[in-house]
Amino acid sequence: MGKNKLKKFADMKRMQCVFQFPFAVVQQGGCPMRGKWNEQYFNNGNPIVLELGCGKGEYAVGLAQRFPGKNYIGVDIKGARMWTGAKMATEQGLPNVAFLRTNIELIDRMFAPGEVAEIWITFPDPQMKKVNKRLTSTRFLDNYRNILKDGGLVHLKTDSPFLYTYTHALVEENRLPVEADTDDLYASGMADDILDIKTHYEMQWLQRGLTIKYIRFALPHGVELVEPDIDIEPDTYRSYNRGYIQMPQLMHDAENDNNP
């Protein structure tokens, strides 16, 4: 492991906005913060909004900046990426954003039933070969319902035609209430102050000429969800290699501050 990554992990241990719990602790007794996020960290009763697979945390930080009346938690297993958003939140003194390092599969051990109001899923891996790994599959939606309030919102923002088509079909098959739906966000006129937040990877997709898809739907309790029976054409492009940084200036990337 490189020295820079080790430094980031050390930094995160000192950041009050970052929560990390050993897997054994979570497996045996659940997250110590479960059901207590507002009481013990945010110190208010505002709605909690999650960004799952938050990466560098741009959306969680951007939302927290714009909407102080809500509490935001970025969730990811990649701590070295999350460090960027956590550093920005710490330097800006944002009281309504936190970061949780964990597997999304364990999300219902981290939050109590009804503790979460909304979930954002921003530019996840479409998982074209494995249905049960898609973050909008029935497997994950059922898990989200364990923590979402009844009718809580799920937002998907993606570059992937495959994942958008799949999610659209799943929502339609299960007659889930749809609040917004477009296969070309920035041409639709729907991009408002929330949706105009652009992550590092979104900027890459836009520069490559790809359209951004967005769907927002409610997730009622007590409804048995089924997978759609649909053949979907795979995406015809690939992500850049991990080491490729196309727009290093994005969001005043805090990583540059670590290398004077």
Q: What pLDDT score does 3 carry?
A: 67
CA angle, residues 159, 115, 180, in degrees to nearest 5: 35
Cα 78 to its chain centre, rounded Å, is: 12
- Say which of 11, 108, 125, 193 is annotated catalytic: 125
Give 51's strand partners: 74, 120
Q: What pLDDT score does 147 carry?
A: 98
Give DSSP secondary structure letters for 197-248: ---HHHHHHHHTTPPPEEEEEEE-SS----------PPPS--PPPTT--S-T
**H or E segment at 50?**
strand 48-52
Q: Is residue 150 annotated as part of the catalytic site, yes or no?
A: no
Q: What pLDDT score does 1 carry?
A: 52
Q: Is 0.85 topped by the overall pTM?
A: yes
Over the chain (260 residues), the average pLDDT of each successive run of 10 is: 76 91 77 95 98 92 96 92 93 97 92 98 94 98 97 96 97 97 91 79 83 96 96 82 39 41
Q: What pLDDT score does 182 carry?
A: 95
Give 72's strand partners: 49, 97
DSSP annotation of 257 reads: G
